[in-house]
Amino acid sequence: MNAVAGFIIAYLALTTCGLPHPQIVGGNDALDGAYPYQVSLRNLTLDSLSHFCGGAIISEHYIITTAQCINQFENPYNVYAVIGSNYLNATDAIVYQAKNLIVHAGFNNLLRVHDIGLIQVSSNIIFNKNVQPIALSTTDRNFDDYPLLVTGWGDLWSSGLAFNRLQEIIVRGYSHELCNRWAYVKETHICTFTTENEGFCHGDAGSPLVADGVLVGLMSYSYGPCGTGVDTQVVGGTNASAGQYPYQVSLRQNGNHFCGGAIIHEKFVITAAHCLSGKSPDNISIDVGSIYLNNSEARYLAHKLEIHPNYNETLHINDIALINLASKISFTNNTKLINLISYDCNFEGLELNVTGWGRLQPDGLISQQLQQLEVYGFSQKECTETYSNFSDNHICTLNAYNQGLCNGDSGSALTYEGDLVGIVSYGRQPCASGYPDVFTRVYYYEEWIHKTINAGSNQQLNIILGSFMTYLCILFM
CA distance 334 to 242: 7
H or E segment and range at residue 452: helix 446-457
Q: Measuring CA to CA, how many Å separate 372 from each of 119, 182, 360, 367, 418? A: 40, 22, 12, 11, 13
CA distance 418 to 410: 19
Partners of 340 in the β-ladder: 420
Burial of 142 (0-12, 13-18, 19+ CB in 10 A): exposed
Please identify which of the residues 319, 409, 419, 437 carries the catalytic annotation. Answer: 319
Q: Give all strands (DSSP E) within 33-93, no chain letters.
A: 38-45, 48-57, 62-65, 79-83
208: left (phi over 0), alpha (psi -120 to 50) or beta: beta
234: helix, coil or strand?
coil
303 is catalytic: no
Residue pair 241/371 in contact by the 8 Å Cβ criterion? no
Biggest CA pair distance of the chain: 85
Please identify which of the residues 158, 222, 410, 425 carries the catalytic annotation. Answer: 410
Beta-carbon contacts of residue 458 (< 8 Å; ≥ 6 apart):
none
Q: Measuring CA to CA, how many Å separate 342 from each of 10, 159, 444, 445, 467? A: 40, 47, 10, 10, 10
Residue pair 231/50 in contact by the 8 Å Cβ criterion? no
425 is catalytic: no
437 is catalytic: no
CA distance 368 to 378: 29
Q: Give the residue among 47, 136, 46, 134 at the shortest CA–CA distance from 83.
A: 134
Residue pair 279/286 in contact by the 8 Å Cβ criterion? no
Residue pair 353/399 in contact by the 8 Å Cβ criterion? no
Burial of 467 (0-12, 13-18, 19+ CB in 10 A): middle
- DSSP labels for 1-19? -PPBTTTB--BEEE--SSS
Q: State the CB neighbour count (10 A cutoff) for residue 128.
A: 11
Residue pair 95/49 in contact by the 8 Å Cβ criterion? yes
Residues tagged active-site: 274, 319, 410
